[in-house]
Amino acid sequence: MPSICRYYSKRSFIIPSVPGFGTKLIPKWDLHGSVLELCGFHPGFKYWSRGALNPLRKYDMLVDISLSINGTRYSNSIEPRTLLVHYLRDTLGLTGTHEGCDTSQCGACTVIIDGRSAKSCTVLAVQADGTDVMTIEGLAQNGEYHPLQEGFWQEHGLQCGFCTPGMIMVLHDFLSQTPHPTEEQIRTALAGNICRCTGYNNIVKAAQYAANKMSG
Ligand code: FES
Ligand code: FES
């Protein structure tokens, strides 16, 4: 049962001690009677969690997933609790997808899953098993920027750039369904994405630039 780790204030696992495994093999870790309390912030957790002696693996608590990301197939064994945004950033190193709020409010983590935009902080990586995912890294083709990327450049649609990958991915989905949007429709499409810098006007202009270019 998950609990709160007393040292790192993070959710932790309670793992029953395993005869022949637990206490002797991992003596420096946090032991409470007959149970071992761990969270991802304990030193050495990542090293240990990948090892052959990992009790999660022993009890089949790692899950195999296989999915296509930007046209490349990836297969990994992950903890079921892993969020898609963490899988992309921490496991695969695709750090173009940003994590702002982790509570489904800012939209910085938006990616495309099977053609539709989704906030990857609200999707478990296991839920994306078997899907086609596109991240900001997959947008440019053959060294050429996508019209949306061009639009943000031409219309000064970014300042710090933190929100930009999420803005572009949600607009990518939106423009595929609404090739000739009104300004109001663009603003509605962006309602789930927060920018702290630009005031939004230039982001709307960037979307209009892309819509014009993509519709010829
Ligand atoms: S990090 Fe996903 S919505 Fe903010
Ligand atoms: S450009 Fe800074 S948050 Fe949008």
- The upper half-sphere exposure of residue 42, i.e. CA atoms within 13 Å in the direction of its Cβ, equals 20
Judge if 131 and 151 occupy the same domain: no
Cβ atoms within 10 Å, residue 148: 25
Is there a contact between 181 and 174 (Cβ–Cβ < 8 Å)? yes
Pocket lined around ligand 2, Cβ cut-off 6 Å? 158-163, 195-198
DSSP 83-103: BHHHIIIIIS--TTS--S-SS
Going by the DSSP 8-state scheme, the letter that residue 127 receives in this structure is G
Judge if 170 and 200 occupy the same domain: yes
Does residue 131 lie within any of the structural domains?
yes
* Residue 202: burial class (beta carbons within 10 Å; 0-12, 13-18, 19+): buried
pLDDT at residue 60, as a whole number: 57
**Whether the CB of 165 sits within 6 Å of ligand 1:** no
How far, in Å, are 97, 122, 168, 190, 212 from residue 107 at the CA level?
10, 10, 10, 9, 24
The domain boundary residue, chosen from 43, 58, 73: 58
**Number of helices (H), then strands (E), in the chain:** 8, 9
Q: Which residue's C-alpha comes closest to atom 2 of ligand 2? A: 160
Does residue 65 lie within any of the structural domains?
no
Ligand 1 atom, smallest distance to 119 CA: 2
pLDDT at residue 72, as a whole number: 98
Question: 12 lies in which domain range?
Answer: 3-58
Distance of CA 155 to the CA centre of its chain: 27
Q: What distance in angstroms lies between residue 118's CA and the mean position of ligand 1's atoms?
A: 10
Is there a contact between 106 and 100 (Cβ–Cβ < 8 Å)? yes
Torsion of CA 28, 34, 38, 44, to 10 degrees: 30
Does residue 199 lie within any of the structural domains?
yes
Ligand 1 atom, smallest distance to 120 CA: 2
Q: What is the CATH number of the domain that holds 100?
A: 3.10.20.30
Judge if 95 and 117 occupy the same domain: yes
Does residue 23 lie within any of the structural domains?
yes
Q: What distance in angstroms lies between residue 137's CA and the mean position of ligand 1's atoms?
A: 18
Does residue 12 lie within any of the structural domains?
yes
Q: What distance in angstroms lies between residue 91's CA and the mean position of ligand 1's atoms?
A: 18
DSSP-H helix ranges across 143-200:
147-154, 164-177, 183-189
Judge if 90 and 134 occupy the same domain: yes
Q: What distance in angstroms lies between residue 186's CA and the mean position of ligand 2's atoms?
A: 17
Q: Which residue's C-alpha comes closest to atom 3 of ligand 1? A: 104
pLDDT in tens, the chain (216 residues): 445 544 445 445 544 444 444 333 333 333 333 334 454 544 444 444 444 555 555 555 899 999 999 999 999 999 999 999 999 999 999 999 999 998 999 999 999 999 999 999 999 999 999 999 999 999 999 999 999 999 999 999 999 999 999 999 999 999 999 999 999 999 999 999 999 999 999 999 999 999 999 997
Q: What distance in angstroms lies between residue 108's CA and the mean position of ligand 1's atoms?
A: 5
**Predicted structure pTM score:** 0.75
Domain count, the chain: 3
Ligand 2 atom, smallest distance to 197 CA: 2
